[in-house]
Each structure stands twice: as C-alpha cells, then as structure tokens.
Structure 1
Amino acid sequence: MRFLWKKINGNLCRVLQGIIFVFFGLFTLPYTAQGSSSPWIEEEFSRVRMVTGQETLGETGKVMLGLQFELKEGWKTYWRSPGDAGFPVSLDLAESNNLKSWQFYWPVPHRFMLFGLQTFGYSKEVVFPFEIQAEDPQKDVTLRGTASYLLCKEICIPFDADVTIRIPAGEAFPSLEAGIVDTYVNRVPGLGAEVGFDITDSFLVGNGENLVLKVYGSAKDQGFQKPDVIVEGPPGFSFSAPEVIIDDGGAKAEFIIPVSIAKEAKGVLEGKQITLSLVDGAKGTELKTVSKYKDVPIGTSSGILAFLPILGLALVGGFILNLMPCVLPVLSLKLMSVIKHEKSDYQGIRSSFVATSFGILTSFWILAAAASLLKVAGFSVGWGIQFQQPLFLIAMSGIVSLFAANLFGWFEFLVPGGVINRAVNASDKKGISGDFLKGMFATLLATPCSAPFLGTAVGFALARGTWEIFAIFTFLGIGMSLPYLIVAAKPRLASFLPKPGTWMIWLKSVLGLLLLGTVAWLLSVLFVQVGWVATTLVTVLLALGMAILAVKSLTIGKRAVAISLLAILSLAVPYKFSVSSEKASVSAYWLPFAQEQIATEVNNGKIVFVDVTADWCITCQVNKKLVLEQDEIESLLQKEDVLPMQADWTLPNETITAYLESYNRYGIPFNIIYGPGAPEGIVLSELLTIDEVLSVFEQASGK
C-alpha cells in the first residue's frame, strides 16, 4: 500500500511539474516569441530574423532593434558600400503599423579579397541595429519588413525575407535579446562605446597613376592589433587595400592607400568628400572629410603658390556679388551720387568711389575678424548667419527704410554724430564718409547672397586659420570693389552717364520703391522667425515713422500719395506672408531634412535630393524660381523613387550647420543629390541650371 502511494505521489508530482511548465511557457510565450524576436526565416545557406532590445515601447516609443543574420561557413553578405561586387543589405518597413520613423545602422565591416577583387561585408553572424520611433507610444507597434540581401561564396544568390514582430505598449524593460543588440550597437562607428583610437590626419600624395591617399591613426591603451582603413569616395575613384605601418608599440599607424581613377571619373579627387572607416577587429571609427593635399605653410613659396587659386576664386566670387539682386539697391544709390557730380570733377568722382571701395573692404575685414573670434571661441560660423537674428533684420529694415525716405525727399536733416543719418544723407553729402558707409552697407546686403566661386572660397577660409580668413575675405572685398575701383582709376567713364535733369526725380522714386521692396523682403524673413504679431508691429512702426517724415516734408497733395504708398507697403508685407504660406502647401512634396535617413533610402534604391535653403538667401530664391519650381524638375522630384528633402536654415540650426560643415561648406545655397550611383552624394553649383540637375540625377541613379 505504501509502495502504491509513493508511486501515485511521484506521478502526481510529475503531472504538477508538467502543468507548471506548460503554464510558464504560455505566460512567457508573448515575450519570447513576440516581444524579443520574430521567427527565423530559414534559407539553405542562412537564416534571418528581427530581434528587439526592449520588450515594450516605453514612454518615448523609441526602441533599438536588430536584423540578425546567421550565415553558413564561407558565405558572406554586404556592407553599405559593397566594393567591387555585391549589393548592400536593405530593410523595407513601409507596411508597418504605428511607425513614425526609423534609422538603419551599419556595424564595422571586414575586407574580403578574391581573385584581386575586394568587397566589404560580413561572415558567420551579423546584427544590423535599427532604431524605431512609434507614432503613438501608447499603442502597439507592428513591424512588417522585407529584408533584401545577397549571399556570396563561389556563387552569389539574392534573397528576400519577410519578417514581422510586434512590440506592445508599456513600461520599458530589457528583452532576452538585449545583449546581442547592444553588442552590435557598440560596433557601429559613433553610436556605441568609445573605441580607443582615432583618425588623426589624411592627405593625398602624387597624381595620376601614382596618386596615393595617406591616413594616420592613433590608439590608446592596448594599441592597434590588425587595423584596416576602408575608403568611400566619389564615383570613378577606387581605393585599394592599404599598406599598413604600425609604429610606437602599436600606438600609431600609417595607411598608404593607392587610388585608381576610372575614365568616367569627373574632375580630380582633391576637394571631394570621402568617408574613412578605421577598423580594428570588431571596433571602428568613421570620419567624413574633404580630400586634400598636405597643407603647406602659407609663408613658404610653395604654400603661397598653392594658395593663389583660392585667392583667385575669392576675387571672382566677390566681383560676381555685384551682379546679384541683393546689392542692387546700393548700386542704384551709388549711381545717383555719380550723376550729381560735375562731369569735370574727376577728383571728386575718384574720391567718392575709392571711399566706397574702402567701405566694402572694411566691412569684409570686420566679417573676417568676427568669424575668427567666433571660431576661436568654439562657435559655428557661416556666410550670412546674421540674417538668422531678428534684431539684425529689424535694424536693417529701419536703415533701408531711411534710405528710401531719403530718395523720396522725406528725410534731409542731419543729426550731429549720427552714423545712420550720415549714411542716409550720403546722396547729398559731399564728404567721403557717406560714400564709405555706402560701401559698408553694400557688403551687409550682399551677405545673404551666394555666387559661383564664393562658396568654395568662403568654405576654404572658414576651415582654416585667422591668416587665411583675412586673406580670402580681403580678396572677396577687392573683387566686390572692382567696379568702383575701375571708375576711380578712369573717372572719365562718368561722362557716359546722362546729364542731371527732372528725370532724376522720377528715377529717385523708382529707386526708393526698390528699397521698399527690400524692406518687404526683410520683413518676410522676420515673419518666419518671430511670427506675424511681432512682424506686424514692426511693419506698423516703420510705416508710421515714414508717414511722419512724409507729412513733415511734403505738400498736402503729395502727402496723400505718400501715405497711400505706405499703406500699400503695409498691406504688401502680409500678402507676401500669405503667398509664402500658399507656396508651402503647393510644395508639399518636400520632406523635412533627416540626415539619418539618407543612407537607408539610397540603399533602398532611391535618389535623395537635399536642398539647404533659407528665406533670407536671395540666391536660394532665384534657384527655386528658375529651376526647382519649373515643371520639368517638379515632376522629377515627385517620382516614386525620388525623395526630396529641404533643410530650412532661416533660423539657427545646429544639425544643418554640422551637415554643411561636413561638406566644408559654410554658406548657402547648398544642393546635393545622393543615389545608388553616388552614395556619398554629388554637390551641385550655387546657381542651379535645369540641365545640371537632370545630368546629376542621371549620374546619381547609377543607370
């Protein structure tokens, strides 16, 4: 009997254990099968699944996941830049629910060599981290993705795998797969933990068939073990496996990388962006830089010769600024002052134009000093960034309004010692101070414009030291002063201008209207920054101020005309705002700038067009009207395989500033096109043309 009871008791215990095991399995099933990973998608040579680092979404709705591959021996898949063959892994999550955005990351790859061909990718196992942001963190997220990848051994086979995972809403806590996700997050350059080594320098040596890229790295603690440098560059340039020289007990490494240039390569490698990935085992760091030859001290003869082309670009860029619409109001004022001179007063004409030139140069020196001080203080600097400040816009609106009032004959008095009043009365004053202030004012109005060659020169200057900044800005000033210096050298040219007469009264009125148009533009930029309430207040105050000047100086009949003119201006500014808003809705196909999505979209076969613009950038508006809003370009930008992004720099934005600096640019407009044929992007010229945009689109498509 006792034996029978023991047997029953033992069986009962086993049954209870089984029941507990089943219930435990059912309880944990949603979190292991659903919350931590998707089922494996098995293929003959690999298997793939999605894993998540969190069981639930948490308060923010931001979760790091991974696309996990396990490959059979000898098989490999590919990095974002696969090398001489292959195509990169991609993940399409378009069919997901409650997904706002996501970013795909690339762990450090390894170099594979086969029959003289080099490829970059992964073998055995790899997890590609990607971070998602839920649309609503209070609701579940269901990710439905298609992973496209290529497996190669002796043969290459493309695969597509459909993977699905649900992440429920709730308080965040780590999943069972958090460890492997974190492991590969730490293998993404710049995303994970400190790697212990850096890229310290890179430069080109030689040219043609003897062109070599040298890269230098330094390591801490353990030093370098088996380092490698992978280079991504523009189309037509390929970079061989480096010769590696390790020195100082592993603390320093030199990489000598031969560069091959294909026939389809456009231009030279110097000045183009490259991406350097320094890899040592499972760790890596990444640096985007502009390829250049080793810096030569400017004080040496070879350094001066190397610097001359940049100074030439600055000279031409400064001269072209005179042809930009920003400087037109000041040039018109200068024209009026010349006409007032006696044609035989060559000395007066010469002095006037020399003073204006010196005013331009002084302004450029002030800009150079400000840029140098800001750089030393650690601030980001750029061409035209003062137009991001509302107080500057208000001050400029007031000054230009006073210039307009002067041309209308409403403002003739001079306050002793008043700098603004001296500038305003410059048209009538015979001294050179007014001409000097005109030159300074012309430079201020020129800063929101970018011209061909100007961006290259300014970018070079702001990436260098104080000496180079002052030298380049001086040549920019000389270039902008050239028309004035030519007249100063040959004052007889003034004899070709028409004689003074009653027509000048009408011309002054026309020029005054042009200046009022400039005021309306400045206020429209202010509206974007501070809103309609503050802008309306400034507009009303300016209109009242000018109305008071008009009432004091005009007859009753002319007062009515002047007040009507000011009323039109007051109404024109809100109309400008409404037109801008309407245009914004028409151009709804432009997406907000998201730098982190560019590589992913390109890997998915799309072409990405990035337009960095601002309301205060005159050249940007010219590009928009003459090129980007033309039917041919608009239809191109709205294609399914094209992703147009617009980065608005009207207000200060550190992300956009850093993006520009990564391309050695410090001013706008800046337009770049990425695509399968140009994953690193192709930079367009400052002044766009339809033919250029179409040509670069075709090149970036890789077809």
Structure 2
Amino acid sequence: MLVVCPPSIQAQEQPLVQAEMLASENEPVKAKLIAEEESIQPGRPFLVGVELQMADGWDTYWMNPGDSGFPTQVEWDLPEGFTAGPIQWPYPEKLDNESLVAFGYTGTVLLLSEITPPKSLPADEKIELKADINWLACKDSCVPGGISASLAMPTSDAVPTANQSSATLFAEAKEALPQKLEQKKGDLAVQDQKDHILLQFQAGADSFGEIESLLFIPEEGEVVDYSAPQNWDKKGEKLSLNVKKAHPEASLEQVKGVLIISEKGGVTRAIQVDSNLNEVESVAPVATDGVSSVAVALGLAFAGGLILNVMPCVLPVIALKIFGFVKMAHQRRSVIFQHGVVFSLGVLVSFWILSGGLLILRAYGEGVGWGFQLQEPVFVAILASILFLLGLSLFGVFEFGTSLISLGSKTSSSAESPLGGSFMSGVLATLVATPCTGPLLGPALGFAMTLPPVQALAIFTSMGLGMAFPYLLFSAFPKMVRFLPKPGDWMIVFKQLMGFLMMATVVWLLWVFGAQTDQMAIFLLLASFLVMAIGAWVFGRWTNPTRKKTTRWIATILAGVILFVSGSAAILTAKNFKEMGSPSGGTQLVADEGREAYSPERVEELQAKGVPVFVDFTAKWCLICQANKVILHSSEVEKAFAEKGIVPMIADWTKKDPVITKELEKMGRTGVPVYVLYPGESGSAPYILPQNLSAKTVKEYVGKLQTPRTTVFAD
C-alpha cells in the first residue's frame, strides 16, 4: 500500500484549503478531498467528496466489485462532535476482463459523504477533516494504493457559499447517484422467478427518452450471475429484464442494487432498486412457451412420445418390433402381453436413466440438454457398433437367438422367446430416439427443466409411456396384428431390407462421429468394423448346431475375442480423438453450408447495425434438423432472406457447447432443432419458428420483421 503524508497547508488565509495527496506521475491513481461549500456553519450538513483520478486504462471498484477486486474504502478521522455518513456511490461501469466481470470507475469519480458538524462551533476557526483512503487499481495487473488526506475549512455563522471551483464536479456526481423512482416517473416491480430475477419497468409519460438498454447491478455479491447476458424486451410501454441468479436454488427475500437505463443520445440514468421479492411459480415468459401447468406438459410429452414412433431416428428399431409381433401372432395372449410390457419397461427405464442423468448433470452446472449422450464420440461409436452388428445379423451373417434386439422368437414354432430381447429392444429404441425432440416435445421438455426433479421425471415418464403405448396396445389386443400380413417368405425379404435401413443408420452415425473427431478416427472406426464383421462371420459360420461341439466352442471363443478387441479399439479410437475434432458452434465459419457460425456477440453486433439474423440451432445427430435443411437452403427461402438482408447463422450443437446450451435455455428449449429469427433492432425479442418447417412458414415469419416484437412461439 502506498502511504503518503499530507503536505503542509501553506494558504491558511484562504477560506477553503483542499488537502491533496497526489501520487507521482507514474502512479495509477491520484486522490484528494474537496468540499462542496467554502465554510462550515454549525449544525448544517455539507458534502465532502473523495476525488479519484485514474490514469488511462486503470480502474477502481464500486461498492460491489464483481468477480474480483475490493471497493474503495474511506475511514474518517473527524473532530469531536462531527459525524460522517456512508459513501454515496455514483452508478458504476461494467468492466469485462476476459472471463471476469467487475463493476467500477475509469477516468475521474467523486465519492460523496455527508458531514454533519455539531450545533455549536467557535466562529472563524479552522477545522481539519481527515480521512484514510484505500483503493485497488487495476489494468493489466492490480496495485493496491492509499493515502491519508486532510481538508481545512473555516467556520462561519453565515450561510456558506458554494465552492465554484468544484461546483461542476459535484453536480455531475449528484447526477450519477442512483435515484429513487418517483411514482409519477414510472413503476418498478421485481420478482424471484426460480433461476432468474425479473425486473419490470414502466416509464411515466415524458419521464424517459427512447430506452436502448437496461442493466441491473446488485449491491451485494453472489446474487446474480455476472457473466450471463441480461435479456430485456419491450411490450407496449412495459420493459422486462431477466437477470440470471448466481444460485438458482436460493430463494431471495430482498434485492438491492442499481438499474442503469441507457437512452438514445447517450443519456444514462440510474434507479435505486430496493424490493421485497415475491417468488412466483412460473419461469421467465420466454421459457414457458405457452406451457403453464404440469398437466399440460404431461399431455404434450405423451403425445410427443407417441409421435416419436414415426420419426426417422426410431424407424429401424420400431419396424423390427412390429415384425416381432407378427412372428408371435400364434403364441398365447399372455406371452405377447408380457413382451409388450417388458418392451415398455425397457423404454421407461432408459428414459429414467437418461433424464435422471440429465437432471443430475444440470444440477452440478453442466451445460447439457436432451440427447446429450450423442454429443460424446464414445457413445456414438458404441451405438454405431451395436447397430452394425445388428445389421449383419439381419443380413444372415450370424444368428443369435438372444441378440440385443430379439425378433420375437427363434422360429415360428418355438414355445416362448426370451423376455430379455424385448427389454433390450425398448432400450435401443430409446437410445436412437433421443436425437429427435419432434413436435410438441420442445415446449414440454423446456418446461420440465424448470420444475423440481420429481415433477420433471414425471414428464419424462409420460414421454416414455407415449412412445411405448402402441406396443402395449398391440400386446394387449393381439387380434390387431391380423391387420398385418401373415407370416411367410416376405418376412425374410423384410428382415434383409431392415438390414439395409440399419446400415443406413450406421452411415449417419459415422457422419456424426466424423464431425466430432477427424478423418483418421473415422478410418480407425471403419477398420474396427471390418474386424467386427470377421468376428461375426466366424460366429455365424462355425457355431451353428450342425458343427461339432468343440468347433462351436472354439469358434465362440475366437469370435468373442475378435469382437472384444475390435469393440475396444472402437471405444479407444473415440476416446483418443474426442478433443481432436474441429470446435463447434461460435468458433469457426461453417463454410460447407455457406452460413456464418453463431455467437451471441455477433448477433448483437448485427442487430445494432439494423441487420436481422436467422439462427439454425442444429446438430448432425438430429435427423429432423437435416431434413429441414432442404427447406432452409431452398431458393424460396434464400430469396426471402436476401430481400430482407437477413444473415443466416449455424449454431452447431453436435459437440458440447455451453454457449449454445445457454442460448437454448433462454429460449425454453433443451434440444434441437430450434429456429430463431432476430429482428434488426437492438433489444427486440426474437421469433421462434416451429420445428417442422416449410418454405411458406419461414417466409411468413420473415414478413414480420417490420417492427420490434415480443418473443413469439409457434409450436
């Protein structure tokens, strides 16, 4: 700490002496005490300011310094009978320094304190006011500093006159003090909304100019997440500002701070915030998307799970399950029902594990969403290996009666087939279904993320029940199978066709794997598939019942070793190349699609220039996303974008990306696809398009860009 003794007071004849402790020219901060008035009248309070002059590039800190630093401290040493009030802080600047956010001052700042003298003082005497001032100044590094300063003022029974030399400085400091909001100038309401604080501000008539931005800064730390963007929108005359809490699980009873309002023309005002909060059950308006109750979310989740059965992600597995029902058509009704129930149980258990893992990871601060497992190259490699082996089985390379996804029974004459195959069918169906959020599921899953764990799991359970419902129906009423073709030679052809469909799914997963790693990783994974195919061929060729028992045992062991080695190679390849793929979303240009990579800063920059932006939140493991690209790249849509000057962007969520996850959360979504159209006006809330796109739908939303709007959801 720099401690400098005050200089001798040389001008005793002057009515006011400013005791000043100036650091050397190389020091980052110069400090001094100055008074608003030229003399002290007994019993009359007056203002004294601590003036801090920061060198270029240096800053000092506000009462809440943010992520780092400490506030400037003033300790008064006053004559007997004098008292000093607390520091009156002008509103601060938000100082961003890499990953840290701080609140403080640059240039010159005047920290005010009200000094109250006693009611009785001798006339025409010099009174010396002393203060120890300590600060932390930061630029590329931080330097603590401090001085002991004094200020001599004469006493007088007359009403003091203003100190003209400091009048402008005091006027500016008072203008920068946060003010209480008078009723005629506007209305401010603050609410605790689970993981956000919602501030709703309505300006009185002619009280404010055209507002360009809002920023809330709390007086205390650990109240809000400083690094999270503060999003605001305007609906009529009411402004709403959503501020993310530092600890979403904490319930706030009171919030104090400053609401900084920036108006067009460079005018900035600060309003005191001191509100008792009423916690509300709903989340921020942009996150509910019309889902206002658990009952509605349960219904949407069930319907969405039902629709999953016709989504391309699940089709290969579902087709085989129906094929299994056809093969079991002549078995006892109780057996068919057991298989339906066990299949449904496999679906539900998988949903419970995935949703439970999702909730746990999010509770520990991980930025994950629905389908998070497909962002891991290791999981993609394992799933691709399983489907590859299943495809080989469907082609007849090998037969495995209790394979991962049993076709119902070994032969049409067998008494009963193992239930384990039906259970694993449900598991596999769920694993390949998670990339598809599908219609109705986006709002339901987004709402589930705002609920307590038990209610959230109930919504995921409803989704699983919806997906399993058709098979429960088939198993409960086996006569419905009669609407399907009777068993015959067509089943062999159908099984082989499903093999091609399964291999197409493997090709898709390899594409996803390549996007997460690199070309060498794809080559090594394909090589492991070749070795797997050899192991499967050995198993199928030499383990059938016509072979000797010894031959079957040797072939089984050899095939097992080959499959183990090739499977391990696939997993190790994925693990080793996990971090070697190109970075996702926001860090590079997506040249292959002619789109700019997404970043929130870039969107804000373009909006500030009056340029609208269309963002495609997508992932290569999302088949609906890929199908919709045909629409987004059509000549109609491209022409509509060009006419409005819209900049299209890609937010690629194929790999984990916390920035994209955070933006999806703001939209009330936990998965992709999500299509967002940002108007070309700063502060205007975006439009969120339906998940199932058409050129007509996109053009309709593009046509709404004339005026700023509040967020509109269209699911």
Structure 2-normalised TM-score? 0.54
Deviation readout 1:174-230 (Å, 9 max, x if unpaired)? 9xxxxx9xx9xx99xxxxxxxxx997446799xxxxxxxxxx997549x9xxxxxx9
Deviation at 1:403, TM superposition (A): 1.4
Pair 232,424 (structure 1): closer, same or farther in 2 beyond 3 Å: same
Instruction: State whether residues 259 and 270 of structure 2, in contact with CA within 8 Å, keep that contact through their aligned partners in structure 1.
Output: no
1:587 aligns with 2:593: yes
**Residue equivalent to 1:396:** 383
Quote the residue 2:372 is aligned against.
Answer: 385
Kept after mapping to 2: 8 A contact 1:402/1:424: no
The equivalent position to 2:686 in structure 1, one of 663, 681, 687, is 681
**Alpha-carbon shift at residue 324 of structure 1 (Å):** 0.7
The 3 A distance-change label for structure 1 pair 218 and 515 is same
CA contact (8 A) 2:606 2:680 kept: no
Q: Between Structure 1 and Structure 2, how many residues are aligned? A: 441
1:233 is matched by which residue type in structure 2? D
2: CA distance, partners of 1:679 / 1:503: 58
Alpha-carbon distance in 2 for matches of 1:332, 1:253: 56
Whether contact under 8 Å (2:328, 2:409) holds in the other structure is no
Give the structure 2 partner of residue 519 of structure 1: 506
1:470 deviates by 0.8
Does the 8 Å contact 2:323/2:407 carry over to 1? no
Opposite residue 692 of structure 2, the aligned amino acid is L
What are the equivalent positions in structure 2 for 1:38-57 lying under 5 Å apart? none
Cα distance in structure 1, aligned partners of 2:334 and 2:442: 36
User: Partner letter of residue 492 of structure 1?
Assistant: K
Determine the structure 1 residue equivalent to 2:469.
Answer: 482
One of 342, 367, 378 as aligned partner of 1:355:
342
Aligned with residue 702 of structure 2, among 678, 692, 697:
697
Q: Distance in 2 between matches of 1:536 and 1:507?
A: 31
Deviation at 1:320, TM superposition (A): 1.1
- The 3 A distance-change label for structure 1 pair 285 and 554 is farther
What residue number does 1:622 align with?
627
Asked if the contact 1:204/1:293 (under 8 Å) is kept, the reply is no
Residue 115 (structure 1) aligns with: none
**Residue 633 of structure 1: CA displacement?**
0.9
- Which residue of structure 2 lines up, in the alignment, with residue 458 of structure 1? 445
Partner of 2:321: 334
Aligned partners of 2:272, 2:445: CA distance in 1, in Å? Answer: 29
Correspondence 1:650 to 2:654: yes
Aligned to 2:676: 672
Distance apart, 1:463 and its partner CA? 2.5
Residue 549 (structure 1) shift: 2.5
Q: Match for residue 431 of structure 1?
A: 418
1:323 corresponds to which of 297, 310, 326: 310
Structure 1 position 412 matched with structure 2 position 399? yes
1:309 to 279, 282, 296: 296
Q: Percent identity?
A: 31
Take 1:127 and 1:375, find their aligned partners in 2: how far apart are those partners? 33
**Secondary structure of 1:700 counterpart:** coil
Q: Secondary structure at the match of 2:314?
A: helix
d(CA) in 1 for partners of 2:300, 2:340: 24
Paired with 2:693 and 2:409, the residues of 1 have a C-alpha distance of 36
The separation in 1 between residues aligned to 2:435 and 2:656, in whole angstroms, is: 14
Asked whether the equivalents of residues 406 and 425 of structure 1 are also in contact (C-alpha less than 8 Å), the reply is: no
Give me the whole-angstrom Cα distance separating, in 2, the residues matched to 1:173 and 1:518.
54
8 Å CA contact 1:340–1:500 kept in 2: the answer is yes
Correspondence list, 1:133-212, <5 A: 200-201=192-193
Structure 1: unaligned runs, 5 residues or longer: 1-52, 56-62, 65-125, 134-170, 175-179, 188-196, 206-215, 224-229, 243-250, 256-275, 287-291, 297-303, 416-420, 556-576, 578-582
**CA-CA distance at 1:173 after TM superposition:** 12
> Matched residues in 2 for 1:241 and 1:396: separation?
45
Cα gap change, 1:674/1:439 in structure 2, threshold over 3 Å: closer, same or farther? Answer: same
Q: Which residue of 2 aligns with 1:87?
A: none
In the other structure, the counterpart of 1:233 is 233
Distance 1:199 1:533 in 2: 53
1:442 counterpart residue number? 429
The 1:540/1:363 distance shift into structure 2, 3 A limit, reads same
Q: 1:608 to 1:422 in 2, by over 3 A?
A: closer
- CA deviations on 1:596-617 (whole Å, 9 max, x unpaired) are 1223322322111011111111
* Equivalent residue number for residue 100 of structure 1: none
Q: 1:173 to 1:382 in 2, by over 3 A?
A: closer
SS in 1 for 2:369: coil
Native 8 Å contact 1:404 1:512 kept in 2: yes
C-alpha distance in 2 between matches for 1:361 and 1:697: 40
Whole-angstrom distance in 2 between the partners of 1:521 and 1:330? 15
1:613 to 618, 632, 636: 618
CA RMSD between the two structures: 4.6
Counterpart residue type for residue 631 of structure 1: S
Give the superposition deviation at 1:253. 6.2
Q: 1:279, 1:285 within 8 Å by CA — same for their partners in 2?
A: no
- Are 1:218 and 1:252, in contact at CA under 8 Å, matched by a contact in 2? no
Partner of 2:603: 598
Q: Could you say if the C-alpha distance between residues 315 and 342 of structure 1 is closer, same or farther in structure 2, counting changes exceeding 3 Å?
A: closer
User: Larger radius of gyration, structure 1 or 2?
Assistant: 2
Alpha-carbon distance between aligned partners in 2 of 1:662 and 1:328, rounded to the nearest angstrom: 32
Pair 1:422–1:648, CA change in 2 (3 A): closer
2:233 maps to a residue whose letter is G
Is the contact made by 2:347 and 2:430 (CA closer than 8 Å) also made in structure 1? yes
Q: Which amino acid aligns with 1:681?
A: P
CA contact (8 A) 2:190 2:199 kept: no
TM-score by length of 1: 0.55
Gaps of 5+ in 2: 1-54, 60-90, 99-138, 143-168, 178-188, 201-215, 224-229, 242-252, 263-267, 274-278, 284-290, 411-415, 543-580, 582-588, 709-715
Q: For the Cα contact (< 8 Å) 2:676–2:689, is it kept in 1? A: yes
The whole-number CA distance in structure 2 between the counterparts of 1:593 and 1:660 is 13
Cα distance in structure 1, aligned partners of 2:438 and 2:620: 16
> Any conservation in 1 of the 2:306–2:466 contact (CA below 8 Å)?
yes
